[in-house]
Structure 1
């Protein structure tokens, strides 16, 4: 369908807060986008920056407009930022694009990003579209990058409960405005809130899907000032736990096994609601010392006698499993052990690592 005169095909959504040192590279990458005949607007919202971000934005506005982009600039000058969720919502509100391309101010797009993700979204209209990415510097978060770039199409929709968060990283998201409106926008509680994970889960709850363009379309910067480091780990844990209980444990009425008798497995056990904790039939592991303990006794339980959960070798574990073992840490041994049981992901086990 041809866009109307007042609606653009794509709105690039760019929230900004004290990003003046990163913005020139970000804008340069946007200016180099292959647009073909697409009508693209760049919607920038400055969340009360105290550096010269606004000056940089205004300096680049005519450069981007000369490349065919419509540039929208919004923001506020209040003494404190209102948060990434608020800034994203405002950026979207002031734009008209039928499709939304999310961009972080400290990252850079590859030239084909808009073109390839737009095409993919036309083919997968009910999906959040992501892409592969490369890290800068390259040696940062090697395990995380490998995990995100290696997920199969099925795992993009299954491995949503790991500590890594969404299976396609937020700075690569591309979706229709219709999806944004259906979900209801981003959470605006502010600093420490994983607004992307909350949106991601709501999208899945509404029967949405996840799709990835299997090309590197983003340079994803890693640095100490990244907003990622402001997220409250306990908030993320609680979101993951609530979803695990609702999506899986509620249905596993005949019991399940926690794969990992160590710190993370026991933390999961202690965190469960009592009705789900009683369904844990065993812990399983490969560590002989843990298995020789025989049982895990939940000392802090108010029940009498205190709950006693067997610790068994993984080959004696009863599926389904909640797996609390981190990938890529055992030189392939864990993955080999899991594969040997011929289990189906999302049926016989779920990853909660």
Structure 2
């Protein structure tokens, strides 16, 4: 397991006295990494999410929006949500508990103090969980919690990750995909993505559009903090509302 060293909140702090009545929240905090330069993008993400993004960004590959070693919640709420899946090595028990917590209407709060030293090392149990296992749970959760709200949507990324998401969706969700969008002129010039593995005849051909020509809502399969701000600038230029007009999935 990851090794952690915790700090503490002072007795009588404003945060504790204002939230002791909350019984349906998972409460966590900001963290510091050891070594300091390990998982830099992930650490920035976990520490810089806004209060709203603690709920809107629960679909990403980063997992829970507050990390499990910082969690605390009421015993009654834990018993209502839990228990943890004790299936052993390879089971993403924190992710599964977090999803069940959200399914039952739980909220997420982060204390904006760094109260935990989170050590990164090659033997961490998290490395035993297969990416394909996590992917399957994430797609299921997306289809269950987000996609029913939308009659149609666009997948932002006509490349590998966007196509993988499309192929992983159920047939009903696939029929809601009206387009892919991208900035890559080569993909846009091709004009469409053909789902060759489909049993439908004719095989589905999904248009590929420039992101400015596409219609929200978007399921975004572009990783954050990887393009020097170019992707984030493009997204901001559309003046959309996160959680309503788009969701991050990658």
TM-score tier by shorter-chain length is over 0.9
Deviations 1:132-154 (A, max 9, x none): 00100011000000011000001
Q: Is the 8 A contact 1:259 1:285 kept in 2?
A: yes
Higher relative contact order (CA 8 A, sep 6+): 2
Partner of 1:191: 89
Structure 1's 298 and 211: CA in aligned 2 closer, same or farther, altered over 3 A? same
Q: Is the 8 A contact 1:121 1:127 kept in 2?
A: no
Deviations 1:258-277 (A, max 9, x none): 00001100000010101111
Q: Is the 8 A contact 1:113 1:217 kept in 2?
A: no
Partner of 1:213: 111
Unaligned runs of 5+ in 2: none
Partner of 2:7: 110
| Aligned mate of 2:169, from 254, 269, 272 | 272
Q: Is the 8 A contact 1:121 1:176 kept in 2?
A: no
Secondary structure of the residue aligned to 1:316 is coil
Q: Is the 8 A contact 1:297 1:307 kept in 2?
A: yes
Partner of 1:318: 215
For residues 231-310 of structure 1, the aligned pairs below 5 Å read 231-253=129-151, 255-310=152-207
Say whether residues 1:223 and 2:121 are aligned partners: yes
Partner of 2:236: 339
> What RMSD over aligned residues (CA atoms) do the two structures have, in Å?
1.7
Say whether residues 1:202 and 2:89 are aligned partners: no
Unaligned runs of 5+ in 1: 1-16, 18-103
Structure 1's 114 and 195: CA in aligned 2 closer, same or farther, altered over 3 A? farther
For residues 81-96 of structure 1, the aligned pairs below 5 Å read none
Q: For residue 316 of structure 1, report the CA deviation from its aligned partner.
A: 0.8
Distance of 1:149 and 1:293 partners within structure 2: 39
Deviations 1:83-119 (A, max 9, x none): xxxxxxxxxxxxxxxxxxxxx6x21112448876755
Distance of 1:120 and 1:210 partners within structure 2: 15
Q: For residue 250 of structure 1, report the CA deviation from its aligned partner.
A: 2.1
Q: For residue 251 of structure 1, report the CA deviation from its aligned partner.
A: 2.5
Distance of 1:327 and 1:297 partners within structure 2: 27
Structure 1's 144 and 107: CA in aligned 2 closer, same or farther, altered over 3 A? same
- Calculate the TM-score normalised by the size of structure 2: 0.95
Partner of 1:328: 225
Q: Is the 8 A contact 1:321 1:349 kept in 2?
A: yes
Structure 1's 147 and 120: CA in aligned 2 closer, same or farther, altered over 3 A? farther
Number of residue pairs aligned between Structure 1 and Structure 2 = 249
Distance of 1:113 and 1:157 partners within structure 2: 27
Task: Identify which range, 127-136 or 244-253, moves more after superposition.
Answer: 244-253
Task: Identify which range, 122-131 or 110-119, moves more after superposition.
Answer: 110-119
Q: Is the 8 A contact 1:295 1:310 kept in 2?
A: yes
Structure 1's 296 and 114: CA in aligned 2 closer, same or farther, altered over 3 A? farther
